[in-house]
């Protein structure tokens, strides 16, 4: 029996089998959790349905996090099937591609800032708000994905770093507010991983290789490693942990460059 047996989890952010959310869904399913998945658009529907089959998920729903109507529809569909929600995983980020390339002073726009913050940061509050009663009934654990660019000025990460800083602050404010309801809120700050989101980034391959050399473990991390830590943080094994940012980055964040 796995350490998540009997737990019901909604996982938002699977695009394909390289997604960090897929690594999380797989490791949570392996520990006995029952999983529901969402897909951003019709383009991703069939791919996510295939993954749902593989993981034995019976619930697969459309969800664009910029739509309050779609968010409401997801939780009303969920409450028709489940009387509680134990785990909510938020693994979503987006900024206009042009804003993730070059100098901050040139790449930044008001519209890009608004979009990055809406999709990558506010959506955590929006989902938690809409899922509140189900999460309360299930002593829920909420988990999101961050990156070191939230706290350090990483070249080209630009507006996404600012949105991740907002996301990490959101984790602390939600944790402080929802502790009284038995709901925990945490983040994993992952090292760079080659996913669909990373595929759109210039020179990502050489970034990965450079990061590996500068990392205590001398390698990059995998979606399985992120998935295992996510499964732990959302389980009763982590019942005393809330409001935390846990690094799954091979130790990169503790180093100084020489
Ligand atoms: P991914 O492309 O597989 O996942 C990103 C997901 O966001 C996709 O499933 C996409 O459909 C979804 N998404 C984007 N806009 C959306 C919207 N409007 N509505 C609903 N869904 C939307 O890439 P990933 O690397 O697995 O990214 C997942 C999370 O991990 C992101 O928050 C990312 O910032 C974070 N992260 C990634 C890395 C990395 O190097 N890949 C490192 C640290 C943190
Ligand atoms: O959070 C991310 C990337 C998120 C992301 C990726 C894209 C690519 C395609 C958000 N929006 C978009 N928009 C697109 O049009 N990461 C942590 C991965 C990442 O992205 C970087 C990184 C790292 C690491 C961008 C610049 C520098 C480092």
167 lines ligand 1 (CB under 6 A): no
Are residues 123 and 90 in contact, defined by beta-carbon separation less than 8 angstroms?
A: yes
Q: 25: which DSSP letter?
A: H
Distances (CA, A) of 136 to 5, 7, 11, 91, 244: 19, 14, 17, 21, 19
Please report the pLDDT score of residue 228 as a whole number: 98
> What is the DSSP secondary structure assignment for residue 41, as one 8-state letter?
S
Tell me, what's the pLDDT at 125? Answer: 99
Q: Which of 147, 173, 247, 252 is catalytic?
A: 147
**What is the pLDDT, as a whole number, of residue 213?**
97
Residue 141 — φ and ψ, nearest 5°? -120, 125
What are the tens digits of pLDDT across the range 164-184?
A: 999 999 999 999 999 999 999
pLDDT in tens, 11-60: 999 999 999 999 999 999 999 999 999 999 999 999 999 999 999 999 99
If you measure from the C-alpha of residue 6 to the centroid of ligand 2, how many angstroms do you get, rounded to a whole number? 34
The Cα 71–Cα 63 span in angstroms is: 7
- Ligand 2 centre to CA of 181 (Å) is 34
Which residue has the least CA distance to atom 7 on ligand 2? Answer: 197
Structural domains for the chain: 8-248 (3.40.50.720)
What is the model's pLDDT at position 211?
Answer: 97
What proportion of the chain, given as a percentage, has pLDDT over 70? 100
155 CA closest ligand 2 atom index:
27
> What is the Rg, in whole angstroms, of the alpha carbon atoms belonging to the chain?
17
Write down the pLDDT at residue 200: 83
For this structure, is 39 an active site residue?
no
Q: Tokens 């206009």 — which residue?
A: 96
Ligand 2 mutation target, pool 20, 92, 93, most atoms within 8 A of CB: 93
Residue 199 Cβ < 6 Å to ligand 1 = no
- Of 193, 96, 83, 69, nearest to 136 by C-alpha is 83
Residue 163: what pLDDT? 99
Give the per-residue pLDDT at 101: 96
Burial 15-45 (b: 16+ CB within 10 A, else e): beebbbbbbbbbbbbebebbbbbbbbeeebe
* Confidence band for 185, pLDDT divided at 50, 70 and 90: very high
Catalytic residue status for 147:
yes
Does pLDDT of 61 surpass 90? yes
Which residues are paired to 228 by β-bridges?
none
Residue of minimum CA distance from atom 21 in ligand 2: 157
Residue nearest to atom 21 of ligand 1 (CA): 40
Contact by Cβ (8 Å): 20, 221: no
Q: How many H-runs (helices) and E-runs (strands) does the chain carry?
A: 11, 7
Residue 67 pLDDT:
98
pLDDT at 120: 99
| Average pLDDT score over residue span 227-255 | 99
Residue 126 has pLDDT above 80, yes or no: yes
The mean pLDDT value for 128-140 works out to 98
Q: Which residues line ligand 2 (CB under 6 A)?
A: 93-95, 97, 100, 147, 154, 156-157, 160, 192, 197-198, 200-201
What pLDDT does residue 134 have? 98
* Nearest protein Cα to ligand 2, atom 20: 198
> What is the spatial distance between Cα 10 and Cα 127, in angstroms, rounded to a whole number?
10
3-state DSSP helix/strand/coil % of the chain, to nearest 5: 50, 15, 35
Nearest CA to ligand 1 atom 41: 193
User: pLDDT band at residue 258, thresholds of 50, 70 and 90?
Assistant: confident
- Please report the pLDDT score of residue 235 as a whole number: 99
């Amino acid at each position: 029996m796995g350490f998540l047996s009997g737990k019901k989890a909604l996982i938002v952010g699977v695009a394909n089998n390289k997604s960090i959310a897929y690594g999380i869904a797989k490791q949570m399913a392996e520990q006995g959790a029952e999983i529901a998945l969402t897909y951003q658009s019709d383009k991703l529907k069939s791919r996510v349905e295939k993954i749902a089959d593989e993981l034995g998920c019976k619930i697969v729903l459309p969800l664009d996090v910029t739509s309050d109507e779609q968010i409401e529809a997801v939780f009303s569909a969920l409450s028709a099937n489940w009387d509680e929600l134990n785990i909510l995983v938020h693994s979503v980020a987006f900024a206009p591609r042009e804003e993730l390339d070059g100098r901050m002073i040139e790449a930044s726009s008001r519209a890009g800032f608004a979009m990055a913050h809406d999709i990558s940061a506010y959506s955590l509050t929006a989902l938690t708000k809409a899922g509140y009663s189900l999460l309360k009934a299930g002593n829920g654990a909420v988990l999101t994905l961050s990156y070191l660019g939230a706290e350090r000025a990483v070249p080209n990460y630009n507006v996404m770093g600012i949105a991740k800083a907002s996301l990490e602050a959101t984790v602390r404010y939600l944790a402080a507010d929802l502790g009284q309801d038995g709901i925990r809120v945490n983040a994993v700050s992952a090292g760079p991983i080659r996913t669909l989101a990373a595929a759109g980034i210039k020179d990502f391959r050489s970034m990965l290789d450079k990061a590996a050399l500068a990392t205590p473990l001398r390698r990059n991390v995998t979606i399985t490693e992120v998935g295992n830590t996510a499964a732990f943080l959302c389980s009763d094994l982590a019942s005393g942990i809330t409001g935390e940012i846990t690094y799954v980055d091979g130790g990169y964040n503790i180093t100084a460059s020489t």
